[in-house]
Amino acid sequence: MGRPPPLLPLCASVSLLGGLTFGYELAVISGALLPLQLDFGLSCLEQEFLVGSLLLGALLASLVGGFLIDCYGRKQAIFGSNLVLLAGSLTLGLAGSLTWLVLGRSVVGFAISLSSMACCIYVSELVGPRQRGVLVSLYEAGITVGILLSYALNYALADTPWGWRHMFGWATAPALLQSLSLLFLPAGADETAAHKDLIPLQGGEAPKLGLGRPRYSFLDLFRARDNMRGRTTVGLGLVLFQQLTGQPNVLCYASTIFGSVGFHGGSSAVLASVGLGAVKVAATLTAMGLVDRAGRRALLLAGCAFMALSVSGIGLVSFAVPMDSGPSCLAVPNATGQTGLPGDSGLLRDSSLPPMPRNNEDQREPILSTVKKTKPYPRSGDPSALPQPALSSAFPGPPLPTQGHALLRWTALLCLMVFVSAFSFGFGPVTWLVLSEIYPVEIRGRAFAFCNSFNWAANLFISLSFLDLIGTIGLSWTFLLYGLTAVLGLGFIYLFVPETKGQSLAEIDQQFQKRRFAPSFGHRQNSTGIQYSRIEVSAAS
């Protein structure tokens, strides 16, 4: 018998290619929307419906995907999602009407949402404690790389006849490569433990084989049994604070802020998309290097703290230098639509070049995209507006000295960079890593999907309430409100989120069973916050 295939490189390819597919599908609509508008004569409402149809499919997957993952297994769920993605991409590539386009995008949304959940759980269960953080975080890096790749391909195909068909079709390439990698991997940790002679397990992660496993129902997520209620509180708290800090909406102002320091028109759009994309990739790679050393808690606390400071800084700057964005799509019929899609990792797509959709991190982070109609009040950074070929920024109010203007604008740009980096090494990758660790294997798929559905719903709420919030309290106070929410998130992480680095999934499970979910305000904690002591778990023979 020949040597077994290496486990870690194959797991890394599954995670990276899964994230790449997710990111590509989120952002590809940005380059396809203008030619689709021209070929099918799409109105603003139809563009909104087309871009948002991916969200509908993703929401459906988050509601039923957990049952599919737990019932049929993680590997089969990924295979199934890739088949669904192939069907959706084929539908989009051959579409001859808006109906087929919407159907194809909905199918693709279902596929990438199901795959994102299954990939994180699958990889976390196959590898050991020392590699789990890096390999699960690799999915987040794949998302950002996929977004940048879609921008490059959209630009290359922009002048190609029926180029949008090719844009949609190329999404199948990473999915097919991921399926090929899966062929050489076991179905799960049980199979790995039963065939140790075939594939060496890293770190003794497999649970004991046998019939003594507990059974959980969906309602157990809200009960005190095995501290499931506490685990659900941790999971929901992370996904909600990830969205309620306003990450997708803050990024709407990237092009405006870049333009305010002297980059106008196309250069502003390119810097806002590719420049922030590069920052996100660098920050995510930094998180991958630190997540198994510094720990999950440390990255979440640091990331949330810097997000609070930076978004508050943008809000304070906007008091002195108000920012305003371009008009709606109705005013610029030849402009491409800025789309925001739900997902993790979040880049601004606000451009006069191929439009760059706004993605939510991650990830998997869902992305709501809407192309709103004109509002009676200034729509600073409308997350759905179709911008002018050159985004302009208005700065009403008493004029400041030129040096004062320049300093404040560069300060806003620095705060934006810090905000993007902080999200990308904190909430972006770590939220999904923690979710893949804290639940028992028997209900992990359903629990992950339940939290993921709140992630998409919160993204929807934040995106739809953005313009009304600005109209009610103003842009500056909106950003300061996001900063306050980040401070509350910081307190939640400090009090309730445990450190899980260096522990096997079985150890994490047993620690949660022993500790009831209750913050300890009067008791002294060590420097790393809430710590769980390592317990010995015998490996299956």
Query: By the 8 A CB rule, do 393 and 259 touch?
Result: yes
Helix runs in 261-393, H state only: 265-270, 276-290, 296-320
Q: How confident is the model at residue 283 (pLDDT cuts 50, 70, 90)?
A: very high
Query: By the 8 A CB rule, do 450 and 223 touch?
Result: no
Q: How confident is the model at residue 116 (pLDDT cuts 50, 70, 90)?
A: very high
Q: Encoding tokens for residue 40?
A: 């099918």
- Digit-coded pLDDT (tens) for 449-479: 999 999 888 887 887 787 788 888 888 898 9
- pLDDT at res. 466: 78
Better-scored residue on pLDDT, 226 or 79: 79
Q: Is the pLDDT confidence value at 346 over 80?
A: no
Query: By the 8 A CB rule, do 241 and 304 touch?
Result: yes
The answer to which of 113-117, 145-149, 150-154 has the lowest mean pLDDT is 150-154
Mean residue pLDDT across the chain: 76
Q: Is the pLDDT confidence value at 539 over 50?
A: no
Q: How confident is the model at residue 330 (pLDDT cuts 50, 70, 90)?
A: very low
Query: By the 8 A CB rule, do 187 and 199 touch?
Result: no
Kindly report each contact of residues 41-47 with a partner whose C-beta sits within 8 Å and lies 24 or more positions away, as own/partner. 42/98, 44/328, 44/329, 44/330, 44/371, 44/372, 44/373, 44/386, 45/371, 46/98, 47/329, 47/337, 47/371
- pLDDT at res. 363: 44
Q: 145 to each of 158, 182, 200, 424, how far by Cα in Å?
A: 20, 21, 30, 13
What average pLDDT score do residues 527-537 get? 40
Percent of the chain whose pLDDT exceeds 90: 38
- Digit-coded pLDDT (tens) for 127-136: 888 889 999 9
pTM listed for this prediction: 0.74
Q: Is the pLDDT confidence value at 297 over 90?
A: yes
Query: By the 8 A CB rule, do 310 and 415 touch?
Result: yes
- Digit-coded pLDDT (tens) for 10-49: 999 999 999 999 999 988 887 888 888 888 988 888 887 8
Q: Is the pLDDT confidence value at 141 over 50?
A: yes
What average pLDDT score do residues 414-433 get? 92
- pLDDT at res. 458: 86
- pLDDT at res. 189: 60
